[in-house]
Amino acid sequence: MAEVTFKIYRYKPGAIDPPRYDTYRVSIEPHTTVLDVLEHLRLDDPTLTYRHSCHHGSCGTCGMLVNGKEVLACVTRVADLKTDTVVIEPLRHQPLISDLVVDMTPFFEKYEPVGMPYIRESEYLPHSQPPEEVGAYTRFENCLECGLCLSACPVVGSDPDYLGPAALAAAARVVQEPRGQDVPTVLAMVDTEEGCWRCHAAMECSEVCPNDVDPGGLIMFLRRELLTGTSRSGGKR
């Protein structure tokens, strides 16, 4: 068991304003995650606010900056950080509500209109034979809608009108597998100055994505599609 210092960003409009950092010493076990630490601290301080739900990197709510890097707190083990001081701050480029809580509304305003179906065909165990009633095995899309990519993107920080990596990646998934969506409409949505052409290819989005969506790669895919036009007929992968 080791003791680690946590410096946590605190802000509450009108109450903790300007923001400050509160410091805590916490004993950690090998399996203790950053989210476990926050849950532990909240027992004594119910005013500490943060988003969380699934605790296994599936819902995407607990995105935050840990020592300056975008992570999901629930799958970030403190021991793996290999430091005795951990700084926890809210995600960048999204409106701050309180402490570590950001407002996801702008994220969804750009992401939802793309209309990516949340279910896709499962590519796992490709030789297995699904039950007749099932047809083909399906699974949820990779994107957890966590917003880490928006926080890490240097363009999102300087240009609020940029569609951003999450929405562009969702658009690419529709182009790859339309599943009833209208591909030309989605391509028109991203074929704009504030769409896929705005990306600087810094690739920070793909670096921080906790579920291998590779938004940067998908933005490049969209550019190729628009330049070569192979998917205008709605071609499947």
Partner 1 sequence: MNPPHVVVIGGGATGAAVAHDLALRGLRVTVVERGEVTSGTTGRHHGLLHSGARYAVKDQESAKECIEENMILRRIAPGSFELNNGLFVAITDEDMAYRPAFLEGLETCGIPYKEITPQEALAREPNLNPAVKAAVEVPDGTMDAMRLPLRFLATAQSHGARILTYTEVEEILMQGRTVTGVRVRDHVTEQTYTIGADIVVNAGGAWAGKIAALAGVDVPLQPSPGVLVAVYGRWNNMVLNRMHRSGDGDIIVPQRTLSVIGTSSWVVEDPDRLEMKAEHIDLMYEYGAQLVPAIREAKLRAAWAAARPLIGSGGAQTGRELSRTFKCFDHAERDGVEGFVTIAGGKATTARGMAEVTANVVVKKLGLDAPCRTREVVLLPHTAYYRRRA
CB of 36: closest distance to partner 1 in angstroms?
7
| SS3 (DSSP) at 208 | helix
181: contact with partner 1 by CB under 8 A: no
Stretch that binds partner 1, among 26-34, 80-88, 215-223, 227-235 (CB under 8 A): 26-34
Task: Please tell me the distance from the alpha carbon of residue 4 to that of residue 18, in angstroms, as a whole number.
Answer: 26
How many Cα atoms sit within 13 Å of 31 on the Cβ side? 2
Specify the residue, 30 or 217, whose C-beta has the smaller distance to partner 1. 30
CB of 23: closest distance to partner 1 in angstroms?
20
Task: Please tell me the distance from the alpha carbon of residue 154 to that of residue 86, in angstroms, as a whole number.
Answer: 24
Q: Which residue has the tokens 């999204």?
A: 94
237: contact with partner 1 by CB under 8 A: no
Answer whether 66's CB lies under 8 Å from 88's CB: yes
Q: Which of residues 135-154 bind partner 1 (CB under 8 A)?
A: 137-142, 145
75: contact with partner 1 by CB under 8 A: yes
Q: Where are the alpha helices (DSSP H) in 86-153?
A: 105-111, 148-152
79: contact with partner 1 by CB under 8 A: no
9: contact with partner 1 by CB under 8 A: no
Query: Between β-strands 2-12 and 85-89, what pairing exists: parallel, antiparallel or unpaired?
Result: parallel
69: contact with partner 1 by CB under 8 A: no
The contacts of residue 66 (CB under 8 Å, 6+ apart) are 34, 73, 76, 81, 86, 87, 88
61: contact with partner 1 by CB under 8 A: yes
Stretch that binds partner 1, among 19-27, 128-136, 191-199, 222-230 (CB under 8 A): 128-136
Q: Give the residue from 169, 146, 163, 156 showing the smallest Cα distance to 219.
A: 169
103: contact with partner 1 by CB under 8 A: yes
Binding site for partner 1 (CB under 8 A): 12-15, 29-31, 33, 36, 43, 46-47, 49-59, 61, 74-75, 97-98, 101, 103-105, 107-109, 111-112, 117-119, 122, 124-125, 127-131, 133-134, 137-142, 145, 211-212
